[in-house]
Chain A
Amino acid sequence: MTLPELGPLWLTLQLGLVVTLALLALALPLAWWLAHTRTRAKPLVEAVTALPLVLPPTVLGFYLLITFSPRAPFGGAYLALTGETLTFSFTGLVLASMVYSLPFAVQPLQAAFETLGRAPMEAAACLRARPLDRFFTVALPLSARGVLTATVLTFAHTLGEFGVVLMVGGNIPGRTKVISIAIYEHVETIRLAEAHALSALMLVASFAMLLAVYSLNRRFPQGWGA
C-alpha cells in the first residue's frame, strides 16, 4: 500500500484552523446581534446567513468565483490592494470557506445567546461590568456549549468541503489542493489505496470531533441555570 502524500492534509488543517478562527470572530458579534435585535430586517439576515445550508456548493462556488474575479469590483479591489488574485489562492479559499461554513458558526451561537437571555447580563451590568467585559466574562462562558459546538462544526465542515473549493480554488498543490480534492483526484486516477487512506482519516477524524463535542457538552452548564 502506497501512502498518500501528506501535503493536502496539512493544507486542509491549516485552512480549517484559519477559517474557524476568522469565522468565530465574525460570527460572535453577528450571532449576538441576531439574538438581541428587534429590527424587522432580522428574518432577512437570518435567511441570508442560512443560505449556504441549502444552496448546492457549485452554485455558491460559481457566484464566489464571479465575485472573486479580478474583473469584478471585489476581486479587482483585492488585486489592486495586494497584487494577488483571490481566485485559485489560499486567501480566496479561506474567504469562500467562511461563506460556506457561516451558518455552522452562527446558528449554534445564536441559539446559545437566545437561551442565555438578558438576565445574566443585567446582573453583570449592575455589578459595574461594562458591555465588552460582561460579554467575555459572563455571556461567553455561560454559552460555552454553543461556542464549542460552533467551533467544532465549523472546523469539521470546512475540512469536508469540496464543491466550493473546486470552483474557487481549483487543484493547485500546496495552495488549494485540500484533502477532499486529493481524494477525488486519487479516485479519478484509480489510486484507490491512497483514496482509502485519506477517506478513512477523514471519517475517523470527523467522528472523533463530533464525539468530543457531544461528550464535552454534558459537562457544561445548560443555559445559565442559577
Chain B
Amino acid sequence: MLALDVQLARPGFALRVTQEFAPEGVTAVFGPSGAGKSTLLRLIAGLERGAAGHVQFGGEVWQAPGVFVPPEARGVGYVFQDARLFAHLSVAGNLRFADRRARGLPGPSRGEVVEMLDLAPLLGRRVGGLSGGERQRVAIGRALLGRPRLMLLDEPLAALDAARKAEILPYLERLCTLHGLPVLYVSHDLAELARLAHRVVVLAAGRVAAAGPLAEVLADPALAGVLGPRGAGAMLAATVAAHHPGDGLSELAHPAGRLFVPLIAAAIGARVRLRFAAEDVMLARVRPDAISALNILPATITALAEAPGGVAVGLRIGPDAAQARITQRSARALALEPGAQVFAILKTVAFARDDLGAAARLDSHPAP
C-alpha cells in the first residue's frame, strides 16, 4: 500500500495530494499536461526534495517531517519518458548496472527479463543506435533488473509515434501483469490506459479530481470537464458472438444488445473490452430505424452535468456505465432527465482497432 499526503509549491504551480494507491495491479495516473502527474511520480521516487508531507510504502516511512529516504534506498523502478539510458554503456552494460546493485533481492532474473522484453538481439548494441521503441524496452528491462518493489512509468510511450507505440504496448502489457509488482502508469492517452490499467487517479491542477475503477471514472459525467470530450466515455465488456467476413464485421454480445465492429482477430466467446469517447455517442428518445449506424443500445440516463461546450450525460447501458456528450440545445429538445429511457447510438468508428486488439488479449486477466 502506497499512501501519500504531500504538498509541493512552485511558482505558478501547487501540488497537493492525499491518496492511497492499491498495493497491486496497475493504477493509471491520468490528467492534462501540467496537472502534476510527473511531479507526483518524482515525489514518490524521492526525486523532489522540496516536497513536504508524508510518503509511506508498506510499513516503511519514505518521507515525513525529519525523515527522507533517498531514492536509492526506496527500491522503485522508474521508467522515464526519455528512457535515460547511460550512453557510455552498451545495452548489456545498462542492464548490468541495475542487476549488480540489486543482487540477492527478490524479483525476475536477468534471463527472464531479457526474454520477456526480447532484449537478446539488442544486448551488444550501443545505446546511441537504438530506436525510440527499443530504447524504452531497454529502460523497462533495466528498471525491472533493479528488482523494484514499485514500478513508476512516466509516459513511456509519449515520445513514440503510433507504429512504435503499437510495437511496445505488448511488452508493457506483460510488465503490467507481473505478479505482485504494483505499477503506477502516467499517461494522458486513455486508449493506452484502457489497455493497461484497471484503476485510475485523475489529476487536475495539482489535485486529485477522481480516483477509482477506470470504467467508472471514465463514465462519470461530473468529471467530463477534466477528462475532455475524447477522454470521457465508457468501456463496455462484451463477448465475441460471431464473425461476418463478408461484411468485414465481427458481432459482439453485450447484455444490452448486439454490437458490430470491424473484423477482429479473437475467438468466438472471447471477452473483449471496448472503449469509446463521449462525443462519439448520440442519443435518441425513440429507437431510430433507417439509420447507417449499426450499434444502437437501450440506455438509462443516470445523471446530467455541465461540461465545456455542452452537457455530459451519464448513462447506464446494461451493467456498464457510459457517458455521452451532447449540446445544451439537444438536451432541452429531448427533455433529458435522470431516469429517462433513451437509445445510445454508437458510431462504428468509435471502436478503435488497437483498443479491440488489446481487449482480445485481456481475456486472460479480466477486468475487475
Contact = CB atoms under 8 A, between A and B. Distances in A.
A128 B84 contact: no
Interface string A118-144: 011011111111100110011001101
Which range contains the number of A residues in contact with the other chain? 20 to 34
Given A142-B86, A226-B87, A226-B135, A123 B80 contact: yes
> Which residue, B71, B76, B146, has most C-beta atoms of chain A within 10 A?
B71
Given A120-B84, A127-B98, A226 B47 contact: no
B308 interface: no
- Give the secondary structure class of A's interface: helix
A143 to B, nearest CB: 10
29 contacts: A119-B82, A122-B84, A123-B84, A124-B97, A126-B72, A126-B77, A126-B143, A127-B98, A127-B101, A127-B143, A128-B72, A128-B75, A128-B101, A128-B102, A129-B72, A129-B97, A129-B101, A133-B101, A134-B72, A224-B86, A224-B87, A224-B88, A225-B127, A225-B128, A226-B83, A226-B84, A226-B127, A226-B130, A226-B135
B146 A128 contact: yes
A221 interface: yes
Interface of B: 45-47, 70-73, 75-78, 80, 82-88, 97-98, 101-102, 127-128, 130, 135, 142-143, 146
Interface in A67-103: none
A134 B146 CA distance: 14
Contacts of B128: 221, 225-226
Given A123-B84, A128-B98, A221-B128, 13 more contacts: A119-B80, A122-B47, A125-B47, A126-B146, A128-B102, A129-B97, A133-B101, A137-B97, A142-B87, A225-B127, A226-B84, A226-B86, A226-B130
B80 A125 contact: no
B88 A221 contact: yes
B86 to A, nearest CB: 6
Contacts, number: 77
Among B46, B85, B88, B128: residue with most chain A CB under 10 A = B88
Contacts of B83: 226
Contacts of B88: 141-142, 144, 221, 224
Interface of A: 119-120, 122-130, 133-134, 137-138, 141-142, 144, 221, 223-226
A122 B82 CA distance: 12
A130 B87 CA distance: 19
A221 B72 CA distance: 26
A128 to B, nearest CB: 4
A120 B84 CA distance: 6
Q: Closest 6 interchain pairs by CB?
A: A123-B84, A126-B78, A125-B71, A225-B87, A128-B101, A141-B88
B308 to A, nearest CB: 36
Contacts of A120: 84, 86
Q: In the complex, which of the residues A144, A223, A226 has the most CB atoms of chain B within 10 Å of its own CB atom?
A: A226
A51 B93 CA distance: 42
A173 B85 CA distance: 53
Contacts of A123: 78, 80, 84, 86
A138 B77 contact: no
